[in-house]
Amino acid sequence: MLFNSIDFAIFLPIVFVLYWFVANRSLNAQNLLIVVASYIFYGWWDWRFLLLILFSTVVDFVVGLRLEKEGVPAKRKMLLLVSILVNLGFLGFFKYFNFFLDNFVGVFSLFGVDIDAQSLNIILPVGISFYTFQTLSYSIDVFRRKLEPTRDFVAFAAFVSFFPQLVAGPIERATNLLPQFAVNRSFDHRAAVDGLRQVLWGLFKKVVIADGCADYATSVFSNSADASGSTLVLGAFFFAMQIYGDFSGYSDIAIGTARLFGFRLRKNFAFPYFSRDIAEFWRRWHISLSTWFRDYVYIPLGGSMGRTWIRIRNTLLIFVVSGFWHGANWTFVVWGLLNALYFLPLMLRRRNRSHLGVVAEGRVLPSLRDAGRMLATFCLTLVAWIFFRADSMGHAVSFLGGILSPTLVSIPSRAPKAMLLLIPLFLLVEWLGREGEHALANMGLRWPRALRWAMYYGITLMTMGMAGRPHEFIYFQF
């Protein structure tokens, strides 16, 4: 079920009414309703994969209980290993089986050995990369004794399958979200209203910006061999706007929807295109994934401590694994490696934490120095996005070669005029709202009521006007 679909527009109010007016007298009833609603939400796409979520839920629930009782270190490690193997085993099979098989066959073919191996017609379960990491965080934190295991299976099932963030994040930690299912929740009008503002802005980013940029970006990447250098740059720019609007839009809808039910999810995007270096960009882009790899992989490997080569190794590993998490294609691995190469000079000079605050905080305009840094960081990110979007390594290299051709200074092919107007407006709103939890969090609160509501209605009408056939979110395929 898509957030930007009629199905969800009907589904959400029904669940909301049942949650607050029917199941509101019992915490267990509310949690059970969330489980049922979440399974309906996920099963709407393909009910067969509900068994996958249920199995993963049962395994990690049992492992958590056993970890609490087990005191022998070796046995505790074996229990954790069971959780890791089950979760990553499912993820590896559905997402990477054909990738490894094809590359295995390819390596042998280089030496003249032909292996007759057939790829499987595997359907990738939506959201498996997200809920797998979410359940793993529970097992790991219980193993580390950072979290007491829950004995409430319904609450745990609700944590694993919570429908607002089930299929594309944010990747929630058990330490943050699970305890929220254990306490009574009361309706908070102010939080709900702010949640609706965030949902509205998320829908605008998805339907108007992301979907509005998608056709032109797809056209340019699909016909890159015949496009001028300037057109390729514009196509890459449109894709940068598409993927940001798409993914951060999903996160905004997820976080805002969760607030309607009394839950607080962690921020997943913090206006990353206003970053002044690549380290700041990765603190602001897909925060839940970046911090997951930091806490569960990077730091256990030694993090930034120790010798220089260990720091370099850990950085390269994290970025490459992050790239591979996004998809079973070498383009994603190179995308991760390229970002690592951007990041390493900052880390080696210990300048990777130079920009921790909001750019131009308290001011309308940035300094010329900050503006230059933001532009340089965005350009580096744009180059990396080409590898992310390209169909193959050859496609990415030829795309970059086309950009560096003499046609770079030509007039690009005609882009949608509406988007050329809407993108600057979108970026302006994001810039003005960059100090808030989301772009509309504080915008217009001090305006006259009529003007503030005119803004909300304007955003709503633009979103409805651009809505057509619902487009799937890009990160559904990851």
The C-alpha atoms of residue 173 and residue 356 are separated, in whole angstroms, by 23
Angle 128-130-133 from CA coordinates, rounded to 5°: 100
Q: What is the largest CA-CA distance in the chain?
A: 75
pLDDT for 302: 85
Residue 194 near residue 257, CB atoms below 8 Å? no
Do residues 130 and 171 touch, judged by C-beta distance below 8 A? yes
Ordered by start, the domain boundaries in the chain are 6-186, 190-276+355-477
Q: What pLDDT sits at residue 100?
A: 58
Q: Do residues 63 and 76 touch, judged by C-beta distance below 8 A?
A: no
For residue 113, what pLDDT is reported?
Answer: 59
Residue 227 to residue 222: CA distance in whole angstroms? 10
Sequential pLDDT tens for the chain (478 residues): 788 888 999 999 999 999 999 998 899 999 999 999 999 999 988 888 899 999 999 999 999 999 998 889 999 999 999 999 999 988 888 777 766 565 555 555 656 656 655 656 667 778 888 889 999 999 999 999 999 999 999 999 999 999 999 888 799 999 999 999 999 999 999 999 999 999 999 999 999 999 999 999 999 999 999 899 999 999 999 999 999 999 999 999 999 999 999 999 999 999 999 999 999 999 999 999 999 999 999 999 887 777 888 889 999 999 999 998 888 788 999 999 999 999 999 998 889 888 999 999 999 999 999 999 999 999 999 999 999 999 999 999 999 999 999 999 888 988 888 999 999 999 999 999 999 999 999 998 888 999 999 999 999 999 988 877 667 777 766 6
State residue 102's pLDDT score.
58
CA distance to 102, 111, 306, 476, 478, per residue, from 98 (Å): 6, 21, 38, 19, 15
- Residue-wise burial string across 373-403, b where 16 or more C-beta atoms lie within 10 A, e elsewhere: bbeebbebbbebbbbbbbeeeebbeebbebb
Angle, vertex CA 466, rays to CA 267 and CA 285, nearest 5:
20
What count of residues does the chain have?
A: 478
HSE on the CB side for 159, CA within 13 Å? 31
pLDDT of residue 101: 62
Is 438 tagged catalytic?
no
Q: Report, in this order, helix, strand and coil percent for the chain, each rounded to 5.
A: 70, 0, 30
- The active-site residue, picked from 286, 326, 355, 438, is 326
310-to-124, 236, 291, 306, 320 alpha-carbon distances in Å: 35, 34, 19, 6, 15
User: What is the C-alpha to C-alpha distance for residues 303 and 78, in angstroms, rounded to an integer?
Assistant: 25
pTM comes to: 0.93
